[in-house]
Chains A and B, each alone.
Chain A
Amino acid sequence: DAKTTQPPSMDCAEGRAANLPCNHSTISGNEYVYWYRQIHSQGPQYIIHGLKNNETNEMASLIITEDRKSSTLILPHATLRDTAVYYCIDPSNTGNQFYFGTGTSLTVIP
């Protein structure tokens, strides 16, 4: 079963930052949290992962709270192509045998 909690849906205006929260209160101390997104009917796309420090790459930033019980994925300037379902994954004790929840459906509005 998925070990994370995410809001089912969010809207974001084009050009604004999209902040997607995730609760992973049972994450193990040495496990990374992973973020993927899935554009309609395509395979999930890897976005970013992190352990305890904040991470940034060309796609997004990941902010992890100090207690590691939650994180926020930030898309700094959302575009219409960012409309997708975003999944936060806590793989605790399963390696990368990922258990996906239902994710957050992000809609970027023109």
Chain B
Amino acid sequence: ETGVTQSPTHLIKTRGQQVTLRCSSQSGHNTVSWYQQALGQGPQFIFQYYREEENGRGNFPPRFSGLQFPNYSSELNVNALELDDSALYLCASSLTGYGEQYFGPGTRLTVT
């Protein structure tokens, strides 16, 4: 059974640019959640996708957007990057919108 994978591992972008991060969910899981983790902080919930529809959103501006595909993989897009967007971005998948979820290794984004 393949776990949650994320790409790329690391990324460096310039302020104002746009970025796309990718996540492949664990086999059989139809729900994907995205989190942002700044240095020294716990992960912060960005949004969740269930069967290709957004199923909940945390306190993040609209320039954070997402997509879930029919195979339940997902993308996180961030427009107009700001320095404060520098963080570890984590993806987690679960069987449904309830219960334990399993995290990928994360993508480290640095905005300069």
A-side residues, CB < 8 A to B, are: 2, 32, 34, 36, 41-46, 49, 85, 87, 94-103
Contacts and interface: CB of A to CB of B under 8 A. Distances in A.
Contacts of A99: 44-45, 58
Interface in B26-56: 31, 33, 35, 41-45, 48, 55-56
A2 B45 CA distance: 11
B10 to A, nearest CB: 11
A44 B72 CA distance: 21
A96 B101 contact: yes
Contacts, number: 68
Contacts of B42: 2, 85, 87, 100-103
Chain B, interface size category, equals 20 to 34
B92 to A, nearest CB: 8
A36 B100 CA distance: 10
B104 to A, nearest CB: 5
Nearest to B95: A96
Contacts of A97: 33, 45, 48, 55-56, 58, 97
> Can you list the 5 inter-chain pairs with the closest CB atoms, starting with the nearest?
A100-B42, A43-B103, A95-B97, A97-B56, A100-B43
B4 interface: yes
B101 A98 contact: yes
Given A96-B94, A97-B58, A46 B105 contact: no
B90 A43 contact: yes
21 contacts: A32-B99, A41-B88, A41-B106, A42-B105, A42-B106, A43-B4, A43-B92, A43-B105, A44-B103, A46-B101, A49-B100, A95-B48, A96-B99, A96-B101, A97-B45, A97-B58, A98-B45, A99-B45, A100-B43, A102-B41, A102-B42
